[in-house]
């Protein structure tokens, strides 16, 4: 049995834990890759040093790096953590010895792809970032229309959409199929960002 639930990437630990406890899965799949797991989950679960000095941490000047920095800054302004849903679901799985499956395309590959987008699309993304800087996270959440945003992305930035959405969803669906094959008689809970849910429902209908 497989169940796919759409999440908000700013969900609290308590909300994520409650979702998992209600579903009581044998296996948990999350929208993370090995690189992001190592950076975001391992330090929290294993008590590794999280606060790297600014001069020790290399600046990520890729397009994805700039977008991630701005989103993280906005989240911190509201005492939130971007990606808290996937981080805490992973920690819950580790704490309770539940098999954890990392489903997403590796972030290093996503960055490589996005650096190949046309300059016009890169400039468009940077302009969107400037608008985003003037908003609070609460304002962003109020205006959130996931499907509308995705349609706008597809229309205005078709190549970026291919890299950020289409190719990633192929990776997600392929890894979910592998998980189903590996755990045929288990209850599998898949947690994905809300924007991927309609596509995944079509893939697995």
Measure the CA–CA gap between 156 and 147, rounded to whole angstroms. Answer: 14
What is the predicted pLDDT for the residue at 168? 93
Predicted confidence (pLDDT) per residue in 136-173, tens digit: 666 655 555 667 777 888 888 899 899 989 999 999 99
Contact 120, 50 (CB under 8 A): no
Predicted confidence (pLDDT) per residue in 17-49, tens digit: 999 999 999 999 999 999 999 988 988 877 754
Summary count for the chain: helices (H), strands (E) = 12, 4
What is the predicted pLDDT for the residue at 144? 57
What is the predicted pLDDT for the residue at 71? 79
Cα Rg, the chain, nearest whole Å: 17
- Position 52 pLDDT exceeds 80: no
What is the predicted pLDDT for the residue at 175? 97
| pLDDT tier, 54 (very low <50, low <70, confident <90, very high otherwise) | very low
Summarize the confidence of residues 101-110 as an average pLDDT. Answer: 95
| pLDDT tier, 124 (very low <50, low <70, confident <90, very high otherwise) | confident
- Position 50 pLDDT exceeds 70: no
The dihedral over CA atoms of 85, 89, 95, 100, expressed in degrees to the nearest 10, equals: -150
Measure the CA–CA gap between 93 and 188, rounded to whole angstroms. Answer: 12
- Position 119 pLDDT exceeds 50: yes
Predicted confidence (pLDDT) per residue in 66-101, tens digit: 777 777 777 777 777 888 999 999 999 999 999 999
Q: How many Cα atoms sit within 13 Å of 136 on the Cβ side?
A: 7
Rounded to two decimals, the pTM is 0.85
- Position 111 pLDDT exceeds 80: yes
What is the predicted pLDDT for the residue at 91? 96
Element (H, E) at 55: none
What does the DSSP assignment read for 151-193?
HHHHHH-HHHHIIIIIHHHHHHHHHHHHHHHHSTTS-EEEEEE
∠ Cα 143 64 99 (to 5°): 85
């Amino acid at each position: 049995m497989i169940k796919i639930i759409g999440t908000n990437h700013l969900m609290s630990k308590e909300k994520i834990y409650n979702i998992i406890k209600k579903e009581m899965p044998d296996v948990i799949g999350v929208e993370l890759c090995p690189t992001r797991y190592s950076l975001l989950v391992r330090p929290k679960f294993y008590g590794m040093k999280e606060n790297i000095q600014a001069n020790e941490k290399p600046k990520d000047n890729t397009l994805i790096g700039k977008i991630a920095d701005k989103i993280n800054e906005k989240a911190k302004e509201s005492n939130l953590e971007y990606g808290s849903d996937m981080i805490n679901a992973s920690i819950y799985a580790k704490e309770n010895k539940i098999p954890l499956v990392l489903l997403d395309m590796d972030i290093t590959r996503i960055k490589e792809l996005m650096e190949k987008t046309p300059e016009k699309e890169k400039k468009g993304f940077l302009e969107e970032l400037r608008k985003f800087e003037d908003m609070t996270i609460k304002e962003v959440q109020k205006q959130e229309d996931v499907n509308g945003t995705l349609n706008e992305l597809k229309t205005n930035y078709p190549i970026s959409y291919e890299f950020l959405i289409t190719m990633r969803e192929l990776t997600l669906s392929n890894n979910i199929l592998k998980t189903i094959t590996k755990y045929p008689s288990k209850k599998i809970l898949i947690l994905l960002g809300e924007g991927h849910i309609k596509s995944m429902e079509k893939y697995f209908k």
